[in-house]
Chains A and B, each alone.
Chain A
Amino acid sequence: MNRITITLTVNGHRRTVTTEPNKTLLYLLRDDLGLHGAKDACGGEGECGACTVLMDGQPVNSCLVLAGQADGHDIVTIEGLAENGHLHPLQRSFVEAGAVQCGFCTPGAILAAKALLDRSPSPTDEEIREALSGNLCRCTGYVKMIKAIHLAAEELSHAG
């Protein structure tokens, strides 16, 4: 198999990677770039959202994006959410609201929530439920995640 070389921006850094053409963005991040925050929970079928990352600001299932399709794009993973050593308000609110249990779905859920808050700074419960609907969680029943997203929205509105 001929390897391909792609260049993409990951968490603000330009990265050039040579890899297999059938590799997904998820495994490019995990295996080639050592970023393990995005998880594989459904076997690469786009059913669980644990591999959610932001591509040009939009949440995508990175297991459904071929690495080649990410060429030239801007990717943000959970590892890139903190700024200047300060956690994003969503990261803090997930901890403070008790929205984290086993944590396997947490990175994907936080990134899906970030995309929501970026486009809708004061979301309703319904908007939050819809934004999270692609991110399966088996531990929390989503109740405290929804609460955490409201808390972060509130904090961001004061900051903004």
Chain B
Amino acid sequence: MLAEMLTVGKSEMRKDAWSKVTGEAQYVDDLPAEGTLYARVLRSPHHHARIVRIDVADAAQVPGVVAVLTARDVPGEKTFGPLIADQPVLAIDVVRHLGEPVALVVAESKLAAQRGLDAIHVEYEPLPAVFDPVEALAEGAPQIHPGGNLVTEYDVRSGDLDAGFAEADVVLEETFFVPRISPGYMEPEASMACWNDDGTLTVWVSSQKPFEDRHAIASVLNLPVEQVQVRSAVIGGAFGGKEDSSLSILAAFAAYATHSTVRLTNTRHESFLAHPKRHPAQLRVKIGAKRDGTLVALDATVHLDTGAFASYGPAVGGLLTEVVPGAYRIPNVRVHTLVAYTNSPYSGAMRGFGSPQAHFATESLLDMLAGELGIDPLELRRKNILAPGDKVFTGVTVADTANALPVILDHVQAARERLSSIPATEGRRSGVGFALNVQTMGLGYRVPDDSTNRLEIAPDGSLLVYVGAPDLGQGLATVAEQMVAEALGLPYEAVRAVPIDTHISPNGGVTCASRMTYVVGNSVILAAQRLVDTLLDYAAGVLRVPREQVAYAAGHVKLADGQSIPLSEFASRAAEDGMMLSAEATFSFPYPEETTPKYLPVGMPHVMYVFGAQVARVEVDPELGTVELTDLVAIHDVGKVINRAAVEGQVEGAAAQGIGYALYEDVKLKDNGRWVDGFAEYLLPTSEDMPRVESIIVEVPEPSGPHGAKGVGEVALVPTAPAIANAVYDAVNVRVTRIPIQPEMIVGDRLAVG
């Protein structure tokens, strides 16, 4: 660790940035369009309805329309889904949410496709709809799927809840509500599928999981997986929302049915209605503490609204369950989570994956508890934070990385003092609040959690990294290149990541779960060691010297006599021999036998944690109830920085999403029965909404991590909303239990209090 690093830790410039600032970067919708057909989707105008009849005869006659497809035309599996195959490719007999795909028109132009849509006649018989997860599970609720509205239920307990609460001097209970959020990546979902003359398909995607898309497409089209090639274009953001195969399946189906190349791009409205969101939730949490602040019991019941389809809802519910008790030692815990179907747009994976919901409740409640006990909220946290060796309620033993927690709290204290000293603008009240959080890494026990990546030495001596998982814009390719360069003693410039093509790339797994730096990093470091072995075997053979007389250093093969021969000589010689010097390695996320509890459902528990905290300063206008966030200090433990600019970029970008969650964003049902479904009404934070942001990066190395690194992809949006809510309370003594925070919550309460 003391050795000077060649590239790791530096803010290397990402190589794809050059094509992004010149407009040359090709996202799916920018791929050459010559001779392609266009598809459009007919979507349900009802929240819940029976389909009586679909008549496509007129649509098929529209000039320029090539095909009109419905569920009956799907050649293979008619439903799909990452965990439960409950999502029809095109609606079958019933529609379960507004915007659900009902039919697909393929035409020679966008205009003809639209005219084709207008000419499809569908007769619906509306059914009662339900939009609330608690109501959906009540007696007599409209049934959305044949098996009932309960998708999954977790009830995890440890200790003795009754005894715990009996021991408590103070018990508080509150119910919190968090909204449905759009991932809001700038590039709407897009796919382009090409039918090849040999009966295979090439499908271009903007996706976090090309290898899983390939399986989903093959299954729906009843094709062998080998006949489906999925390629990754440049991806315009994803944030979990692009862990969904629905659009690439439709594009592939259109190409298959017409034996053509077909493009399909969602409009922003379609993206809002028919692509995964963050789960809205209702969280009732009860907490008990002794007079001195020692936490003794926590009891939570969470209702999660997954909408019309399960998507990743069951897994989100699982992770949420694990983190409801936060980063604290609580001996008696029960978390009961129910994931329900409703007729809302479906929710799935999104950055944080259940953790933002859980932490808004728990971190708000802890501040309330501190107030009730008359203890400083920071001292309350200090008293109860996890330490290495503690066992949390799932049975996981906390690792040494929990040593980051006291360090983080020290930074919180300093930031709080600094921000508290800033005087309020005249006419406003200022407040400072903070929240602490834990985020898990990896996919959870018994979920395949591997990453395979490959290195090749190109004939010119440069290194190609076949990263088997897509870079969503966060900089995965850059950190992979840096770690390969470091491992091989090469300049960063000499290493280049290759975009994904499922025909040639190894399977690096899904880009998600704050796992990429960790798993890809470990995998490429291992592959680099193997590559050196392969190179030296080859070099010894070529040079006709014993293997032990050749060694590798910094892009050169060193001989015992002091000669130093550059890599390129062997690579070009190998190329002439028809060989490629390459090596591949798989890294599997470790779930140590001795410390991983086995009684939980698949996907639980997660055993590796990252920690963070954010301190917010707000100014509240007590007359108008408006909240301005002026400062945000984000303190996050990353294990070890691989690329500082990229880490800061993750923190700053995630914090902006946390700010949107706290103050602006809500995909809600309007009075007219429509959802908020565009950027006119759904307010993403703009440059003017951003506070002064300071990132403080803590580095407590993770022994199993590459150079000690962990993941930072998700953690930095989790504490933002409760930090802001706690700051609002500090400013005006109003406790908000619902986000986004609206002026009437503050003014209404203030007036009521007088």
Interface residues of A (CB under 8 A from B): 31, 35-43, 45, 47-48, 50, 77-79, 81-82, 87, 90-92, 94-98, 100-107, 110, 128-130, 132-146
Which of chain A's residues has its CB closest to B20's CB? A103
Bound Cα distance from A100 to B23, whole angstroms: 12
Closest CB in chain B relative to A96 CB, distance in Å: 6
Measured between beta carbons, the chain B residues less than 8 angstroms from A43 are: 188, 267-269, 678
B184 near A138 (CB under 8 angstroms)? yes
A100 near B22 (CB under 8 angstroms)? no
Question: Which of A95, A130, A143 contacts B688, CB < 8 Å?
Answer: A130
Closest CB in chain A relative to B32 CB, distance in Å: 9
Question: Which of B185, B646, B693 contacts A102, CB < 8 Å?
Answer: B185
Measured between beta carbons, the chain B residues less than 8 angstroms from A143 are: 648, 652, 690, 693
Bound Cα distance from A107 to B22, whole angstroms: 7
Q: Is B33 an interface residue (CB 8 A)?
A: yes
Which of chain B's residues has its CB closest to A31's CB? B33
Measured between beta carbons, the chain A residues less than 8 angstroms from B187 are: 39, 41, 102, 104
A87 near B186 (CB under 8 angstroms)? no
Which of chain A's residues has its CB closest to B684's CB? A136
A45 near B645 (CB under 8 angstroms)? no
Q: How many A-B residue pairs lie within 8 Å, measured between CB atoms? A: 177
B688 near A100 (CB under 8 angstroms)? no
Measured between beta carbons, the chain B residues less than 8 angstroms from A87 are: 21-22
B242-264 contacts to A, CB under 8 A, are none
Q: Is B657 an interface residue (CB 8 A)?
A: yes
Other contacts beyond A94-B21, A102-B235: 18, CB < 8 A: A35-B23, A36-B29, A41-B188, A43-B267, A43-B268, A43-B269, A45-B679, A95-B14, A98-B14, A100-B17, A103-B21, A104-B27, A104-B236, A104-B473, A139-B186, A139-B649, A141-B690, A141-B693
Bound Cα distance from A102 to B472, whole angstroms: 6
Q: Mark B17-35, 1 if CB is under 8 A from A, else 0.
A: 1101111111101100100
A133 near B687 (CB under 8 angstroms)? yes
Known contacts being A101-B475, A101-B649, is A133 close to B686, with CB within 8 Å?
yes
Measured between beta carbons, the chain B residues less than 8 angstroms from A78 are: 21-23
Known contacts being A39-B186, A139-B649, is A103 close to B236, with CB within 8 Å?
yes
**Which of A36, A38, A101, A140 is most buried by chain B, counting CB atoms within 10 A of its CB?**
A101
Bound Cα distance from A46 to B310, whole angstroms: 33
Bound Cα distance from A140 to B187, whole angstroms: 15
Q: Is B656 an interface residue (CB 8 A)?
A: yes
Measured between beta carbons, the chain A residues less than 8 angstroms from B654 are: 141
B268 near A135 (CB under 8 angstroms)? no
Bound Cα distance from A140 to B652, whole angstroms: 6
Which of chain B's residues has its CB closest to A128's CB? B687
Measured between beta carbons, the chain B residues less than 8 angstroms from A96 are: 13
Closest CB in chain A relative to B242 CB, distance in Å: 11
Query: Please, could you name 11 A-B residue pairs with CB atoms under 8 Å apart, sorted by A?
Result: A39-B186, A50-B186, A78-B21, A79-B23, A79-B24, A91-B21, A100-B21, A102-B187, A102-B234, A110-B21, A139-B649
Bound Cα distance from A145 to B13, whole angstroms: 14
Bound Cα distance from A110 to B24, whole angstroms: 14
Interface residues of B (CB under 8 A from A): 11, 13-14, 16-18, 20-27, 29-30, 33, 183-188, 234-239, 267-269, 472-475, 645-646, 648-649, 652-657, 678-680, 684-688, 690, 693
Measured between beta carbons, the chain A residues less than 8 angstroms from B652 are: 140-144
Measured between beta carbons, the chain A residues less than 8 angstroms from B183 are: 138
Bound Cα distance from A45 to B267, whole angstroms: 11
Bound Cα distance from A45 to B269, whole angstroms: 11
Known contacts being A95-B13, A102-B473, is A45 close to B20, with CB within 8 Å?
no
A102 near B679 (CB under 8 angstroms)? no
Known contacts being A79-B22, A98-B645, is A129 close to B267, with CB within 8 Å?
no
Measured between beta carbons, the chain B residues less than 8 angstroms from A142 are: 652, 656, 686-687, 690
Which of chain B's residues has its CB closest to A93's CB? B21
Bound Cα distance from A143 to B183, whole angstroms: 19
Measured between beta carbons, the chain A residues less than 8 angstroms from B655 are: 141
Bound Cα distance from A42 to B16, whole angstroms: 24
Bound Cα distance from A130 to B688, whole angstroms: 6
Known contacts being A47-B678, A101-B653, A128-B687, is A138 close to B186, with CB within 8 Å?
yes
B267 near A37 (CB under 8 angstroms)? no
Bound Cα distance from A106 to B457, whole angstroms: 33
Which of chain A's residues has its CB closest to B645's CB? A98
Bound Cα distance from A38 to B183, whole angstroms: 21
Measured between beta carbons, the chain B residues less than 8 angstroms from A145 are: 687
Measured between beta carbons, the chain A residues less than 8 angstroms from B473 are: 101-104, 139
B656 near A141 (CB under 8 angstroms)? yes
Bound Cα distance from A88 to B637, whole angstroms: 36
Measured between beta carbons, the chain A residues less than 8 angstroms from B690 are: 129, 141-143
Which of chain B's residues has its CB closest to A135's CB? B687
A95 near B21 (CB under 8 angstroms)? yes
Measured between beta carbons, the chain B residues less than 8 angstroms from A42 are: 268, 678-679
Question: Which of B16, B18, B186, B267 contacts A104, CB < 8 Å?
Answer: B186
Closest CB in chain B relative to A23 CB, distance in Å: 10
A107 near B23 (CB under 8 angstroms)? yes
Measured between beta carbons, the chain B residues less than 8 angstroms from A104 are: 27, 185-187, 236-237, 473
Closest CB in chain B relative to A7 CB, distance in Å: 23
A37 near B22 (CB under 8 angstroms)? yes
Measured between beta carbons, the chain B residues less than 8 angstroms from A105 are: 186
Bound Cα distance from A102 to B473, whole angstroms: 4
Measured between beta carbons, the chain B residues less than 8 angstroms from A41 are: 186-188, 236, 268
Which of chain B's residues has its CB closest to A82's CB? B22
A36 near B30 (CB under 8 angstroms)? yes
A103 near B234 (CB under 8 angstroms)? yes
B684 near A45 (CB under 8 angstroms)? no
B21 near A102 (CB under 8 angstroms)? no
Which of chain A's residues has its CB closest to B474's CB? A101
Q: Nearest 10 A-B pairs (CB), nearest first?
A: A37-B23, A102-B473, A103-B20, A98-B645, A104-B236, A141-B656, A141-B652, A47-B679, A78-B23, A36-B30
B680 near A144 (CB under 8 angstroms)? no
Bound Cα distance from A106 to B646, whole angstroms: 16
Bound Cα distance from A107 to B236, whole angstroms: 12
B687 near A48 (CB under 8 angstroms)? no
Closest CB in chain B relative to A153 CB, distance in Å: 16
Bound Cα distance from A134 to B473, whole angstroms: 21
Measured between beta carbons, the chain A residues less than 8 angstroms from B188 are: 40-41, 43
Bound Cα distance from A107 to B234, whole angstroms: 14
Which of chain A's residues has its CB closest to B15's CB? A95
A144 near B645 (CB under 8 angstroms)? yes
Closest CB in chain B relative to A22 CB, distance in Å: 9
Measured between beta carbons, the chain B residues less than 8 angstroms from A134 are: 686
Bound Cα distance from A48 to B186, whole angstroms: 8
A77 near B268 (CB under 8 angstroms)? no
Closest CB in chain B relative to A3 CB, distance in Å: 13
Which of chain B's residues has its CB closest to A44's CB? B267
Which of chain B's residues has its CB closest to A1's CB? B111
Bound Cα distance from A145 to B686, whole angstroms: 12
A144 near B235 (CB under 8 angstroms)? no
A139 near B23 (CB under 8 angstroms)? no
A98 near B646 (CB under 8 angstroms)? yes
Measured between beta carbons, the chain A residues less than 8 angstroms from B649 are: 98, 101, 139-140, 144
Bound Cα distance from A40 to B693, whole angstroms: 29
Measured between beta carbons, the chain A residues less than 8 angstroms from B27 are: 36, 39, 104
Measured between beta carbons, the chain B residues less than 8 angstroms from A38 are: 23
Measured between beta carbons, the chain A residues less than 8 angstroms from B234 are: 102-103
Measured between beta carbons, the chain A residues less than 8 angstroms from B269 are: 43
Bound Cα distance from A142 to B684, whole angstroms: 12
Measured between beta carbons, the chain B residues less than 8 angstroms from A90 are: 21
Bound Cα distance from A133 to B25, whole angstroms: 24
